Structure 1
Amino acid sequence: MVITSAAAVIAAVVTTGLLVTQSTSTGDDDKPATTATPTTPDNGIVTAAEEPTPEPAYGELGTDSFTIGLRTTARHCFGSAGCNVTVEPELTYLGDSGTIDPDATYEITYEIQGDESGPVIETAELTDQTQLGYTPSLISTASAGTEPSVEITDVQER
């Protein structure tokens, strides 16, 4: 009987949030008197709701966020007929790499000058803040003295 009463009290506290106590009345009737009190005191303290952690703010990248140069990896010259030159971009970010979104992919478009048939436009991909993916470019120069140059023309976040 005591276990059943204890289970009933626990169930009442869990479902109502009130602790019900029973005491014997001193009056003429033999009915027990009951009182209800809240199980959690109201101290007037209001707790602030936790705000979610804000997403980190990453900077906008533009053509002025980088410098670019060309690294010559192969050169085959044919006398006065010019040269076939293989070049790769050497990209430098001018800020703190921590300000680049690690989850974003940036397409960096650049234009190579010096090919005898006109400018060559290529695009490199910057991922994971520091990983640069590109395809080496093969250009044909008009003479052995022609030095290719490069300029960034566009930066887009994908």
Structure 2
Amino acid sequence: MTEPKQKRLWPVAAGAVAALVLIAATILATLAVTAPDEPQQPAAQALSAWQQEQEVPTPTVEPTPTAGPTLSAANLTLTPKVIKKQCFGSAGCSVEVKVEVGYDGPTLSPDDTWEVIYEVKGDEDGPIIDSFELTGDRYDQDEISVSTKTSKTKISVKVTSIERQG
């Protein structure tokens, strides 16, 4: 007698395992594509009417643009520099003076222009009033002609006023 052939189950089992692996891989791939990169935060709870009334919105404060530092006479040093001098004995001297400006204060904005008005003393006819403009760390100064009574006359310069021009 011949033995009946046993059916082999391993090809069926292998096919079932392959199908399960394929299904699992498909599910994992789908989750990887559709899942967000960041973990989701739990949903916020709705506030009660009382909680909503208690919340005070924080006002948004816009910073106020501030102008640069203010120029003051205390920060300026004006020094007369004699660039030309011709004396005529007892008749006095004709002197060409240029005013040198020294500044000791906070850095001035290059966007601000200041008009500095000053007084020159030493001229035989009395004080001379003149001005120059200062922008940032730059200024232009013209020469001033002074006639002195003697060759020993001291020439001095002082700031009388400062105004912001722009």
TM-score between the two structures when normalised by the length of structure 1: 0.63
Residues 43 and 140 of structure 1: CA distance in aligned 2, closer, same or farther (over 3 Å): farther
- For 1:148, the equivalent position in structure 2 comes to 155
Which range is displaced more, 113-122 or 130-139?
A: 130-139
Structure 1 residue 105: deviation in Å?
1.0
Task: Indicate whether 1:130 and 2:140 are aligned.
Answer: no
- For 1:89, the equivalent position in structure 2 comes to 99
Structure 1 residue 79: deviation in Å?
0.8
- For 1:6, the equivalent position in structure 2 comes to none
Structure 1 residue 108: deviation in Å?
0.6
Structure 1 residue 61: deviation in Å?
1.5
Matches within 5 A, 1:52-63: 55-63=65-73
> Higher Cα Rg: structure 1 or 2?
2
**Within 2, Cα distance between the matches of 1:96 and 1:86?**
32
Structure 1 residue 57: deviation in Å?
4.3
Matches within 5 A, 1:71-90: 71-90=81-100
**Within 2, Cα distance between the matches of 1:42 and 1:148?**
82
2:126 to 95, 118, 121: 118
CA distances 1:33-80 after superposition (whole Å, capped 9, x unpaired): xxxxxxxx9976xxx9x9867635422222212111111110011111
SS at match of 1:106: strand
- For 1:139, the equivalent position in structure 2 comes to 146
**Contact 2:68/2:112, CA 8 A, preserved across alignment:** no
**Number of positions where the alignment pairs a residue of Structure 1 with one of Structure 2:** 112
Q: Matched residues, percent identical?
A: 32
Q: CA RMSD in A?
A: 2.5
Query: Would you tell me which structure has more helix in proportion to its own residues?
Result: 2
Matches within 5 A, 1:11-22: none
**Within 2, Cα distance between the matches of 1:51 and 1:135?**
47
- Which amino acid in the other structure matches residue 150 of structure 1? V
**Within 2, Cα distance between the matches of 1:146 and 1:66?**
24
Query: Would you tell me which structure has more strand in proportion to its own residues?
Result: 1
**Within 1, Cα distance between the matches of 2:95 and 2:42?**
80
CA distances 1:86-140 after superposition (whole Å, capped 9, x unpaired): 111111111132xx1211110011100000000001101101x111112110000
- Which amino acid in the other structure matches residue 134 of structure 2? L
